[in-house]
């Protein structure tokens, strides 16, 4: 009888322990990556996005490129065209932002950052007013930037740009 009670006690204690899940993100202790918030990481991603915007305003193309994690996994969608990769993205970024003569406005409206552990997506509606010589181009797109937290900070691994319907 004592053996049965001991076994039942151990089982009940084990069930109690396995039913308690601590919500702290670490490799050893799993968090609910879909529901839990990661405010420190969100702030880091926001600061990275701010630095990306500043590199564009400063016309510092090498700095802008440094925020990308180029490699075989990098992808981009834009202008309804087929997906392209790292080489095409870098060429496009250098061509477009290298041709900007003035950043008149660089607003990200309805900005949302969602962090899922070491991955984050940043979505917004762009209201960019860029001058190319005397020509003013207004870019109103829906943009998603996918980031991965690397040893060198948050880096973009995917970009998606699509026009906003009027």
pLDDT at 31: 76
Residue 127, SS3 per DSSP? strand
Q: Given a cut of 70, is residue 84 above it in pLDDT?
A: yes
For the chain, the structural domain boundaries read 34-163
Phi-psi region of 73 (alpha: psi -120 to 50; beta: other; left: phi over 0): alpha
Section 148-161 average pLDDT: 98
Tens-place pLDDT, residues 31-41: 798 899 999 99
Q: Binning pLDDT at 50, 70 and 90, where does residue 29 land?
A: low
Give the CATH fold of the 34-163 domain.
Answer: Nuclear Transport Factor 2; Chain: A, (3.10.450)
pLDDT of 13 above 70 = no
CB-CB contact of 23 with 36 (8 Å): yes
pTM of the full structure: 0.81
Q: Calculate the dihedral angle through the C-alpha atoms of 98, 83, 123, 87, rounding to the nearest 10 degrees.
A: -40
Confidence band of 3 (pLDDT split at 50, 70, 90): low
């Amino acid at each position: 009888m004592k053996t049965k009670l001991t076994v039942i006690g151990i089982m009940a204690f084990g069930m109690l322990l396995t039913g308690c899940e601590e919500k702290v993100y670490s490799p050893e202790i799993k968090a609910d990556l879909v529901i839990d918030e990661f405010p420190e990481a969100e702030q880091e991603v926001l600061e990275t996005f701010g630095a990306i915007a500043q590199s564009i305003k400063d016309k510092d193309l090498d700095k802008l490129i440094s925020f990308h994690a180029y490699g075989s996994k990098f992808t981009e969608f834009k202008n309804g065209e087929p997906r392209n990769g790292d080489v095409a993205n870098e060429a496009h970024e250098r061509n477009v932002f290298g041709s900007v003569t003035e950043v008149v406005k660089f607003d990200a409206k309805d900005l949302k950052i969602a962090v899922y552990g070491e991955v984050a997506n940043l979505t917004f509606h762009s209201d960019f007013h860029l001058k190319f010589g005397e020509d003013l181009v207004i870019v109103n797109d829906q943009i998603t930037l996918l980031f991965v937290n690397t040893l060198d900070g948050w880096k973009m691994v995917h970009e998606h740009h699509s026009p906003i319907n009027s």
